Amino acid sequence: MFSWIRVPPKVDYQCHRVHSMVGSNIFGEYESPTGYKNAQLRPDSKVLVFVETQYTRLGKHIVEVLEAVRFKYKIEIAGKSLPLLTSSDKGKYSAIVFENLFKYFHLNKWNRDLLDKYCREFNVGIIGFIVGNEQADNHKKVSDQLNHPKGRRRLDNLPIYVESDYQIKDYQLNAHSNIFRITRPGSISLGIVPENNWSIFTLPPNSSSFFPIAQALPRNYIVDTYPDGYKYSNIKKLNKLSNSTSIDWNNYKKNLLTTVFQDNGSYDGIKRIVFGNGLDYWLHKLIFLDSLSYLSNGKWSLPLQRYIQIDIDDIFVGEKGTRMKAVDVEMLIEFQQRLALLIPGFKFNLGYSGKFFHRGYPDENDGDDFLLKKSDHFRWFCHTFTHSQAHLTNNATIIENELLFNREFAKVNNLPTYNVYTVSPHHSGVYPIHEPLFDVWKRISEVRVTSTEEYPHLRPAHLRRGFIYKDVMVLPRQTCGLYTHTIFIDKYPGGRDKLEKSIFGGDLFYSFVVNQINVYMTHQSNYANDRLALYTFEAVIKFIQCWTNLQLFSLPPLELARKYFQIYPEEKDPIWMNPCEDRRHYNIWSLSKSCFQLPQFLILGPQKTGSTALYFFLSMHPSVISNQPSTDSFEEVQFFNGKNYNKGIDWYMNFFQLPNSSHFTLPIDDATTLNNSSTNSSLVQGHMKFFQRIPPPYKEAPPYFFEKSSTYFDGELVPMRVHSLLPHAKLIVILISPLKRAYSWYQHMKAHNLSIALNYTFYEVVSLDVQHKNPSERTMKKLRDLRQRCLGPGAYALHLERWLTFFSPQQMLFVDGDELRLNPINVMDKLQMFLKLEPYIDYSKMLRFDQKKGFYCQVTKGNSTKCLGKSKGRIYPEMDTLSRNYLHHYYLHHNVVLSKLLNRLRVRIPTWLELELSNNL
Ligand SMILES: Nc1ncnc2c1ncn2[C@@H]1O[C@H](COP(=O)(O)OS(=O)(=O)O)[C@@H](OP(=O)(O)O)[C@H]1O
């Protein structure tokens, strides 16, 4: 009987080199400007991006590209005052980008001169975009309109004219431009460019300053046959243009429109690159990256080496009828051999699940056998025996057996296994971390490397990163558009065009451009059926070779991971996100975990401001539960600063234990009950969606967990880390006079017998006026450390600004530490309101001033008082005048900035701050 044989698609991509056609260098040679040798940029200099508003599309696009390549940037709204461009005589910005170039031309004279002077002195260039008529029209000068009523207008005082609203085709790059690094010029992207609204530029003829970087034809210009034989009729969708008109080459060149040009700086000393459209067009992203490199004198340049790893997951797992046959295995081997010629050392990594061996149709089972026979061609990594997800069990033995059975399968079948690498089915247990999985990896299978798409989140893809946890290097995985169900090209979700768009300049191609290390996951079904993986990777590699100078390499996973963290060392430490904020994360998080076990508010400190008293008073409220005391750090958890952070969120969550007794009043047998309850508590409401996660014995309302770690306030990374894990947390900050705080800390250290505090007076410590005591280098260091701990946290405004970049002011409550000491009942009322605590507690019945202690204490059942320990509310002499004067001047600037900040936030200025500011010592 006749059986229909399906033929997998062939890659017919042709790279149309046009360089030979364009002929000799018609653009002249680039001359680099001289005279910039003395000015220096800061090592941490950034790209300065002027956007129209925070929300404009192109502005966001620019930022996305910068983030994807991990370039540091600063965003400014154009039209407002310029940011400080230098610090200590060094330039802060190594390239400047204007989302709308007209905003640059129309800077007021003062700012324009300042910016131009900066660019000249520091040899920093400007990239600008002119997109469509609208943008240009808004900025058209009246004189321009009169001179050029048809919309052709001059670009500021440059001898260049711009026209907008063009539609173009046949995009090509000027092979003689010296800006190209990643981009490989010389090819022509035949066909219509889909983006509309192109601005095109007329440059002065034979200029030694201005050259085209990119050009194209007007959309309606008809070319049939190019000199070296390309026919438009070969190009899909353009057939209708194929009458027999042959090209007139001179005419062709004359008709090219300049869409991106370069100003090499010899005109007015400033280098510029101007785009006649945004970054939607795929080639513009490449040109943009090369422009940044060129204009920053190489500071922002990506290396050209790209490393690639392709995993084939689900070996043996696929459904009957979708699995590889022997011929597919042969094609796979043949493809690997071809790829290895282009990518030295390339080998596929095969992730196997032994349980499903021989579960296909007979010819597929033959395929399994053939694959085993040819197993030496590949690197085999252990998936799990039954393809199970680790997070579904807390039983490490079950997870262990999954791996052991699978490895046994590999042993019996002589597979050349590579045990340092593994991949988890459905990313389960990798991120969010499932501790038993990492423990098992460590214990039995010496796993050192894995990969996931989920860190920190699946989307946006350009922000995927790696991290190291328990010595396992987790690499970010990129998406190549192929999944278990994408097995036929004509059934590709969204159509064949969608896959091809991703390959030819779209997401897949772009992931190679921006990521130096690329790990892709495919599935065995992508190598059977239409063998879409072969098609996809062959096509994208051809495209990369045509349009870029990227060099492709391959390394075994362990070496690749080491390379990754060599390139991106700053990614080693993980950042813990809240699994309940990302549905995908939530679905692969252990069922025994609940977001209840995370605090809903934090007392941030700073140290010595009364944070323990506040913590103590809050713990008296029946609806809140403080953290379990830590034995390591004076009861504080201190998770977000220091080493504890690397212990992971399970470690942190263990500090928040649900009570045994019935402590809460709201019935929550099901979510509806609570939904209908009259409570206004946003904290309760915010957590309703996670009820299912409450471990069965707990049928009470969620508690309000909180913790206080007074070291959080001034920790550099703490605001970012807190925001990642607890984005909705409320934050409580206590402020007392920073002078008093510093002194209290010194006394605290003295009470702890710190030798440096015992041997040096407070004044000596803070002023470092100690020459008469002739301290050794070591002692000086200790003095400086103590001084820093005394003074550093008191720069309140500096630290608060950091918190405010992550949290809204509405999430923060400022407690006046003096009020807390003298009138805590008032403070606790405000706190209950701010936290929306229920039930309302009358603290006047619970707190009383204790004459002996000299502070407010808790009223106990027997009507006596329970006060904080000896270390809180110490008795020590008053601060001496010399120190007071010194600190007054030291903090004056900080206090001025703080008062401005509090005013901005509409927070009442505390009396101690008013006094400091009015005190002219
Ligand atoms: N009710 C009550 N009881 C005891 N102490 C009180 C109270 N209210 C405020 N204070 C002030 O709190 C200061 C200690 O601050 P912290 O708890 O933040 O210190 S620590 O950072 O946790 O070590 C402590 O500082 P010292 O007086 O220097 O010991 C107190 O002044």
Q: What is the pLDDT of residues 716-735, one digit of tens each?
A: 999 999 999 999 999 999 99
> What was the pLDDT predicted at 826?
98
Contacts of 111 (CB under 8 A, 6+ apart): 81, 82
Q: How far apart are CA 299 and CA 41, in angstroms?
A: 10
Q: How far apart are CA 766 and CA 739, in angstroms?
A: 10
CB 612 less than 6 A from any atom of ligand 1: yes
CA distances from 7 to 494, 496, 528, 699, 878 (A): 21, 15, 11, 59, 90
- What distance in Å separates the CA atoms of residue 659 and residue 619, rounded to the nearest whole number? 13
521 forms bridges with which residues in the sheet?
311
- pLDDT for position 251: 73
Q: What is the mean pLDDT of residues 588-598?
A: 87
pLDDT band at 499 (very low <50, low <70, confident <90, very high): very high
What's the CA dihedral at 226, 230, 234, 240 to 10 degrees? 0
Q: Is the pLDDT of residue 245 over 90?
A: no
Cα angle for residues 140, 144, 149 (degrees, 5° grid):
100
In the predicted model, what is the mean pLDDT of residues 410-428? 96
- Helix ranges (H only) for 696-816 are 718-725, 738-751, 755-759, 762-767, 777-791, 796-804
> What's the distance, CA 309 to chain centroid?
22
- Separation of alpha carbons 699 and 547, rounded Å: 61
Cβ of residue 874 lying under 6 Å from some atom of ligand 1: yes
Q: Which pLDDT belongs to residue 24?
A: 32
Q: Which of 577, 905, 588, 566 is nearest to 735 (CA)?
A: 905
Higher pLDDT, 36 or 438: 438
Ligand 1 and 607: CB distance under 6 A: yes
Q: Is the peptide bond before 204 cis (omega within 30 degrees of 0)?
A: no
Residue 687 — very low, low, confident or very high, per pLDDT cuts 50/70/90?
Answer: very low
* Helix (H/G/I), strand (E/B), else coil: 778: helix
Identify whether the C-beta of residue 706 lies closer than 8 Å to the C-beta of residue 832.
Answer: no
Which pair of tokens denotes residue 284? 């513009």
Residue 652 to residue 724: CA distance in whole angstroms = 14
Mean pLDDT on 250-277: 92
Q: How far apart are CA 921 and CA 236, in angstroms?
A: 82
Centre of ligand 1 to C-alpha 887, Å, is: 20
d(CA 583, CA 585): 5
Q: What is the mean pLDDT of residues 236-242?
A: 41
- Greatest CA span in the chain, whole angstroms? 106
pLDDT at 230: 63
873 is in an annotated binding site: yes
Residue length of the chain: 921
Q: For residues 166 and 152, give the distance between their C-alpha atoms in angstroms, rounded to a whole number.
A: 12
Best residue among 609, 612, 744 to mutate for probing ligand 1, ranked by most atoms within 8 Å of CB: 612
Residue 206 is encoded by which pair of tokens? Answer: 């034979």
Query: Is 856 a pocket residue for ligand 1 (Cβ < 6 Å)?
Result: yes
Query: In sequence order, what DSSP letters do the residues of 636-694 get, joined into one string?
Result: ----SSSGGGGG-HHHHHTTSPPPSS-------SSHHHHHHS----HHHHHTGGGGGGS
Cβ of 821 less than 6 Å from ligand 1: yes
Out of 872, 874, 875, 878, give the residue to mutate to test ligand 1, the one with the largest number of ligand atoms within 8 Å of its CB.
Answer: 872
Q: Is the CB of 744 under 6 A from ligand 1?
A: yes
Give the residues across from 307 on adjacent strands. Answer: 517, 553
What mean pLDDT is predicted for residues 839-867?
96
Measuring from atom 27 of ligand 1, which residue has the nearest CA?
Answer: 873
Residue 536 has pLDDT above 60, yes or no: yes
pLDDT in tens, 90-125: 999 999 999 999 999 999 999 999 999 999 999 999
- The reported pLDDT for the residue numbered 81 is 87
Q: Whose CA is nearest to atom 19 of ligand 1?
A: 608
Measure 851 CA to ligand 1 centroid, in angstroms: 16
Is 876 assigned to a binding site? yes
pLDDT tens digits, residue range 16-44? 876 444 433 333 333 333 333 456 877 88
User: 609 in ligand 1 pocket by Cβ < 6 Å?
Assistant: yes
Look at phi and psi of residue 535 and say left if phi exceeds 0, alpha if psi is from -120 to 50, else beta.
Answer: alpha
Q: Decide if 257 contacts 172 (C-beta within 8 A).
A: no
Collect contacts of 665-671 with beta carbons under 8 A, ≥24 apart: 665/701, 665/839, 666/700, 666/701, 667/699, 667/701, 668/694, 668/699, 668/700, 668/701, 668/702, 669/699
State in Å: Cα 200 to ligand 1 middle: 68
**Closest listed residue to residue 120, CA positions, set 33, 50, 47:** 33
How far does residue 791's CA lie from ligand 1's centre (Å)? 17
Residue 672 has pLDDT above 70, yes or no: no
What pLDDT score was predicted for residue 227?
53
Return d(Cα 19, Cα 175) in angstroms, integer: 7
Closest Cα to residue 666, out of 654, 683, 650? 683
CA pair distance 263, 208, nearest whole angstrom: 9
Interface predicted TM-score of the whole assembly (ipTM), two decimals: 0.99
Name, in order, each residue with C-beta under 8 angstroms of 511's C-beta and a sequence gap of 6 or more: 461, 478, 479, 480, 518
Q: Is the CB of 613 under 6 A from ligand 1?
A: yes
Active site residues: 608
Q: Are residues 885 and 879 in contact, defined by beta-carbon separation less than 8 angstroms?
A: no
Does 346 score more than 60 pLDDT? Answer: yes
Ligand 1 atom closest to the Cα of residue 617 is 1
Mean pLDDT of 680-688: 38
**Residue 309: Cβ within 10 Å count:** 26
Mutate to test the pocket of ligand 1, among 608, 762, 853 (most ligand atoms within 8 A of CB): 608
Q: Tokens at residue 107, please? A: 């800077």
Residue 355: exposure state from Cβ atoms within 10 A (0-12, 13-18, ≥19): middle
Gyration radius of the chain's alpha carbons: 33
- DSSP, collapsed to helix, strand or coil, labels residue 225 as strand
Ligand 1 centroid to residue 802 C-alpha, Å = 25
Known binding residue 875? Answer is yes
**Confidence band (pLDDT; 50, 70, 90) for 703?**
confident
- Structure confidence at residue 593 as a pLDDT band (50, 70, 90): confident
Is 418 annotated as ligand-binding?
no
> Could you tell me if 273 and 260 are in contact, meaning their C-beta atoms sit under 8 angstroms apart?
yes
Q: Would the pLDDT of 458 be above 70? A: yes
Lowest mean pLDDT among 13-17, 71-75, 867-871: 13-17
DSSP state of 478: B
Region 737-764: what's the mean pLDDT?
Answer: 98
Can you tell me the mean pLDDT for 840-861? 97
**Residue of 123, 132, 162, 122 whose CA lies nearest to 144:** 162
Question: How does strand 517-523 pair with strand 305-315?
Answer: parallel
Mean pLDDT of 235-246: 44
As to burial, measured by CB atoms within 10 angstroms (0-12 exposed, 13-18 middle, 19+ buried), residue 165 is middle
The answer on whether 872 is annotated among ligand-binding residues is: yes
The mean pLDDT of the chain is 89
* Amino acid 691: pLDDT: 38
Q: How far apart are the first and last CA of the chain?
A: 105
φ/ψ bin of 724: left (φ > 0), alpha (ψ from -120 to 50), beta (otherwise): alpha
Closest C-alpha residue for ligand 1 atom 28: 744
608 CB under 6 A from ligand 1? yes
Flag whether 90 is marked binding: no
Provide the pLDDT confidence category of residue 190 given band limits of 50, 70 and 90. confident
Distance 608 CA to ligand 1 centre (A): 5
Per-residue pLDDT band at 360 (split at 50, 70, 90): very high
